[in-house]
Amino acid sequence: MGTAARVSPAEPGSAVSVSVIVPARNEEACLGRCLESLVAQTGVPFEVIVVDDHSTDRTHEIATAFRKVRVIDAGPLPNGWTGKNNAVASGVRVARGEWLLFTDADTVHLPGSLAGAFKEARENGAELLSYSPKQIAVSFWEMATLPVVFAELARQYSPSKVSDPACPVAAANGQFILIRREAYEAVGGHAAMASNILEDVALARAVKSSGRKIRFRYAADAVHTRMYRNYSQLRDGWTKNLALLFPNPGWLAVITLFIWAFTWTGLALVVAQVVRPWWWGTIFAGALVYLIRRSRRANFTWDTTALGASFGMPMFAYLLLRSKRAHANGAVAWKGRTYAPEARPVNELRDHLPSAAGRLS
């Protein structure tokens, strides 16, 4: 491999093709592994910027231990902004790259994935490229819930439709968004969606509606992530997002519960010989096949998919309803902040700062 292909993180003042921006709020459990995978990338000139979003754990200490990582503070949270939007925008203001990669602290980037994504975006004429990472599930509720959630997301936001310029469906996964800086600035960047909790999808919609091409795909070959490390994180994370991701979360919850209850109740009745005609067994067996096939869109292993079909569907329905209620009540909590319906933080640093929109223009 030639010298040009083994590019390390760019030194100050050198040319940068990609600025990698990692917003981090209390991420001591995963940030180190993320940064190890990022600074080891080769094949494209890049810089790594960690934005410490008012962390109270060892996040800042871990980030500064990486010599080739630039660490900045997010600064006070402006009125009307979500914490992540403010952190990402802070990173953009100091970034030097022609392209921007927004990625989360819980991601691990496989060798060569940055150069590969950069090449893929340019070869496909995409102004925004987003990867849906391979999801690592460890605990019971992760293994049961994630296959169902991601299967339903795949139904709602089919990658083929998202990547089709003629289709209005747009989506992106905030764990990996590579965007040309010119396109980012043309749609107003994160200042244009400062209060939006679902900023990744909002950004994709803005880019696609501007007539620019986006590309979205499952990318186990590029990036892995473990989103949540315990039940409370999983519950709060999906409570924050699900009501915004699905247009009718209450109706979807009812449908999900009905399919699950019909299948497993029917099979239990057949096994107990309460229902005797043979064709009832065929109907319920067919329902089970449909249940499993419905969850197979999520790219999990068969055993994890079966766990999702057995236990994850009622959990998904519960999370949909919990999310719907939280948004209706105007109290969406995440990482020590509580957001009102317009995503205005109601419990920290408010009403004493001007909007940061002008600082991004």
> 25 CB contacts (<8 Å, ≥6 apart)?
52, 53, 54, 55, 59, 83, 84, 87, 335, 336
Which tens digits make up the pLDDT trace of 138-170? 999 999 999 999 999 999 999 999 999 999 999
Which tens digits make up the pLDDT trace of 197-215? 999 999 999 999 999 999 9
Pairing of strands 176-180, 223-225: unpaired
* Rounded Cα distance, 337 and 176, in Å: 23
DSSP string, 307-323: HIIIIIHHHHHHHHHHH
Other C-beta atoms lying within 10 Å of the C-beta of residue 289: 11
The DSSP H or E segment spanning 261 is helix 249-271
Decide if 146 is inside a domain.
no
Decide if 63 is inside a domain.
yes
Decide if 256 is inside a domain.
no
Q: Which of 104-113, 125-134, 299-308 shows the lowest mean pLDDT across its residues? A: 299-308
Nearest to residue 230, comparing CAs of 1, 33, 29? 29
Question: What is the domain range of residue 212?
Answer: 16-138+157-230
The number of domains in the chain is 1
Nearest to residue 355, comparing CAs of 43, 85, 8? 85
Other C-beta atoms lying within 10 Å of the C-beta of residue 286: 11
Decide if 190 is inside a domain.
yes
* Rounded Cα distance, 42 and 334, in Å: 34
Contact between 51 and 19 (Cβ < 8 Å): no
Average pLDDT over residues 281-310: 79
Quickly state the pLDDT bin for 10 (edges 50, 70, 90): low
Please give the model's pTM, rounded to 2 decimal places.
Answer: 0.86
Residue 9 per-residue DSSP state: B
Decide if 149 is inside a domain.
no
Decide if 361 is inside a domain.
no
Decide if 126 is inside a domain.
yes
Decide if 69 is inside a domain.
yes
Average pLDDT over residues 237-258: 94
Residue linked to tokens 């022609």: 98
Q: What is the CATH number of the domain that holds 125?
A: 3.90.550.10
* Rounded Cα distance, 241 and 171, in Å: 13
* Rounded Cα distance, 40 and 150, in Å: 29
